[in-house]
Structure 1
Amino acid sequence: MELRPDWLPTGVDLETPSAARCYDYYLGGAHNFAVDRELARRVEAAVPNVRELAQNNRAFLRRAVRYLLDRGVRQFLDIGSGIPTAGNVHEIAQRVDPTARVLYVDNEAVAVAHSETILEGNEHAGVLRADLVDVPGVLDSPEARRLLDFDQPVAVLMIALLHFVPDSQRPAEVLRAYGDRLVPGSYLGLSHASREHHPESLDPIIELYKNSSNPVVSRTREEVADLMSPFELVEPGVVYVPSWHPDSPEDVWADPSESIVYGALGRKV
């Protein structure tokens, strides 16, 4: 068994792999453990471009945040934020406006612990350990009250999150509950894995993550659009992430569906 680092929060299970820590591994981070690396390497063996898929999803996050900043949004609620790596929301937002406010939310103790370290001394950003489905626990938390003004537009981000939320947790109702608390001009941004066009790429991940702490659920484009229904979709709607406001034509894959991740941004009207 791997030795527990001194900094590790109590209650962290080192015997069950975590999606957040595997994602950190795919992105080249160091905040993962042997059990995570073992699963991640098995995924790499089955899906050799999984690192590229993760990086492409991360690039979508950066483009979405820049899009929102260009439209005057200065408050961000990043739920399922994961373990901090380069290009976090607060880095992008506060480069444009040092007073932009960001609240990260995750239920993974390692992600929260490292976020706390990175954000120390940043009075306009914070982190909360909570679960997506506990809407009051997120929106009425002391950290949310300190950082976010819900009388002004807020961008809620759920990047690579909802494919870990089964239908039994009623994700559509959860998103509707968040939307009900937001004022017009607020946004919801999400990305979601799908086996719709390339099951050979996602099915091995679904199978390998089955016994992790975060089993994967695939949804179709239509199902992702249904999740976004409380919001008016920003053009081009629900598309594979390389096709969502690419920085240049060269960034669009020859077959964007090979990214196996849909992305979308919606505005509350």
Structure 2
Amino acid sequence: MSKPVDTGAPNTITQAFGSDFVVVQIASILPVKSIEKTAKSSHKYRQIAASIREMGLVEPPVVIQDTRDPGSYLLLDGHLRIEVLRDLGESEVECLVSTDDEAFTYNKRISRLSPIQEQRMIAKAIERNVPKDKIARALDINVRSIARKAQLLDGICEEVVGLLKDRICPLAVFDVLRKMSPLRQIEAAELLINANNFSVSYAAAILAGTPQAQLVTPQTPKRLKGMTAEAIARMERELSRLQEAISSIQDSYGQDHLHLTVVKGYLRKLITNDRVARYLEQYQPELFIEFQKIAEMTSTLPSEAA
């Protein structure tokens, strides 16, 4: 049987913003949060200022008209940009006018640029013949850093690029990965992701535990400060066992979790049966308590990690 059509349902999509930019006087824009005193000395502030000076405003601030004062606007997103424009002596700015006064989406749902995404952006700019010194000024970094960022993925296999493309990890991690063979790079990237640890020290530990044959230059012995050849060999064995354990858990995790879910449902049915519950409570109280705990579980994680 077909469902009745809801004639009261809206048949149009409401726009989140006005169709055009609106030029607004900066003096009439009211912030909805205060800027910390240390904000102007931060790297983020300097980077925004450098970008605006070099290329102009790329991302317009988001405002909404103040219902109490039609001549004023509430600033939903872009507080640092507006502050930079004030400091640069600008009197007006092009804004997007929102149709909703909620600021959660703009201020909380931030997608930070990963090193790989930044590398692709820089490489694309260089490909379009944008001078490196101009890129450096726009990002508030030196020209040597631009060269290093542009060559970030040299020697990194495509599979690792795919694995780490959205991950925020230091540039030095890629220097460590570059010393490994492609297959070992993939294994190392998976270890970083599984541990949710993208620090240089952890990457260096993986390198220390990498067999000599899986290095780019296997003929060159590994030399690690403060570690003997025996300690390096022991670390290689321990890391190999850790990888095997992780692989074993990954292979059986789905099936184990399904079994636990079925068991939990079965035990819940048992202890909600009055006759069974009375029997267990009288003759097997320890089991009854444990069955109750399992039936009430909401997570398979330990209580301190859940």
Assess same fold via TM > 0.5. no
Q: Decide which structure has greater helix share.
A: 2
Work out which structure has the larger RCO, using CA pairs closer than 8 Å and 6 or more positions apart in sequence. Answer: 1
Task: Work out which of the two has the higher radius of gyration on C-alpha atoms and give 1 or 2.
Answer: 2
Q: Decide which structure has greater strand share.
A: 1
What is the TM-score of this pair, normalised by structure 2?
Answer: 0.22
What is the TM-score of this pair, normalised by structure 1?
Answer: 0.24
